[in-house]
Amino acid sequence: MSDTPLDINAVSPAVKADIISESLPYIRKFHGKTVVIKYGGNAMVEERLQRSFARDVVLLKLIGLNPVVIHGGGPQIDSALKRLGKEGNFIQGMRVTDADTMEVVEWVLGGQVQQDIVMMINEAGGKAVGLTGKDGGLIQARKKLMPNKEQPESPLDIGFVGDISSIDPSVVKALQDDQFIPVISPIGYDPEEGDVYNINADVVAGKMAEVLQAEKLLMMTNTPGVLDKSGQLLRKLSAKTIDELFADGTISGGMLPKISSALEAARNGVNSVHVVDGRVAHCLLLEILTDKGVGTMITS
């Protein structure tokens, strides 16, 4: 795959018109529908891809779709922790989060990263609003315990990492109705204990897509999609195939929560789930508005 961006000026007007015309049936089909986008990876740190993402999101809103952005921020959290002399530690793809780390996570995700994304979308002509799970009672959470293979009766406590208890989408729907683009940080809270939890952004995106009855869930990654053991792209995956890929270790590490959430969303009413290559400029438009997608589609 070439990283050289397309010179749009080299494309003839006739070809440009064909490209625009090809998008018409998709615009008609998805008008008024919600699209949940998990934003992360290279697309969050490379300026060219940041601009591409922001323009895609604004364009989708202007042609009548309702994009909802859930963002990650792993590299930014690692960088902030390193400045404080702390190292990131992961178990089964989940960040171990003590009280000090949670303070950094909340500051980085709900502050720095979120506001950068909001500003970027607004500069591209959109109207973005940042939320965390604490806003409007959006995401209620409980402590997550990880399975312990060596001692199944003693699950692993990884600190202030949460599972979603419930999502109240009222604030998201209100923003959508007023033509805003919600940008959500994956932070939840426990109203009974008063604790704040870091939640895997893929998990939040999947559950948010279910609750909003989204037409599509798009998860941006740093790979062409889901790859087999020889590195070949798997363009379409069923639940049965995914279970086999889990079992033989093809899907592991950070891909585990991503694909698990994608499959769960597909099983619970999201019409299509796509793992797309965030290193490709305008990957959202390519996936949603053209005949040829740029990743793996997951079906129930």
How many Cα atoms within 13 Å fall on the side-chain side of residue 55? 11
User: 73 a known binding residue?
Assistant: yes
User: 278 a known binding residue?
Assistant: no
User: 198 a known binding residue?
Assistant: yes
10 Å Cβ neighbour count for 41?
20
Contacts of 287 (CB under 8 A, 6+ apart): 218, 274, 276, 293, 294, 295
Contacts of 149 (CB under 8 A, 6+ apart): none
**Distance from first CA to last CA of the chain, Å, rounded?**
29
How far, in Å, CA of 113 to CA of 111, rounded?
A: 6
Identify which of 114, 276, 258 has the alpha carbon closest to the alpha carbon of residue 182. Answer: 114
10 Å Cβ neighbour count for 262?
29
Q: Which residues are annotated as a binding site for substrate?
A: 73-74, 95, 198
Q: Which residues are annotated as a binding site?
A: 73-74, 95, 198
